[in-house]
Amino acid sequence: MNNEQPNVTESDADFERRTTKLLRDSADALEGRVRSRLTAARYAALAELEKRTGKPRLRVPGAWLPAGVLAAAAVLAVAVWIGQPVGGPATLVAEATLIDEDGEILASNEGPDLYADDPDFYEWAGTDQNGGAG
């Protein structure tokens, strides 16, 4: 069996052997003049293929590289410009003040005044389903 195709069954391998032998026998049965023309046509096709793939029409590292770098820089500049805060420095100071106040609440030993708004609600929320205290 072929190592490259592990799922090939024995009948597939036998079919491949018979087909290969039939193809080679038919190629050997051709006249020399026909075989010569076929060989010349094959080499001409390979040369044409090599000529076409030898010079790609669009070379990215060549002429397109500066344009790509410029486009990437423009996208980065727009992303940085859009990502800036709208309010400027005053907004940043206000946000820092809010963060400081939150930090002070979290760092203090006293809890926030939750019961000041609606103490009945918090008492109700602390009870379980049976009506007992939680």
Model pLDDT, residue 91: 60
Give the span between the Cα atoms of 18 and 24, in whole angstroms. 10
Give residue-wise pLDDT tens across range 83-123: 776 655 556 566 666 666 766 776 776 666 665 677 787 77
- Per the listing, tokens 């490259």 go with 4
88 dihedral zone (left: phi>0; alpha: psi -120 to 50; beta): left
Give the span between the Cα atoms of 71 and 62, in whole angstroms. 16
Give residue-wise pLDDT tens across range 51-87: 877 665 555 566 777 888 899 999 999 988 887 766 5
Give the span between the Cα atoms of 134 and 124, in whole angstroms. 9
No. of helices (H) and no. of strands (E), the chain: 5, 0
pTM: 0.28
Model pLDDT, residue 76: 93
**Contact present, 91 and 85 (Cβ < 8 Å):** yes
Q: Is the pLDDT of residue 37 over 50?
A: yes
CB under 8 Å to 69, separation ≥6 — which residues?
none
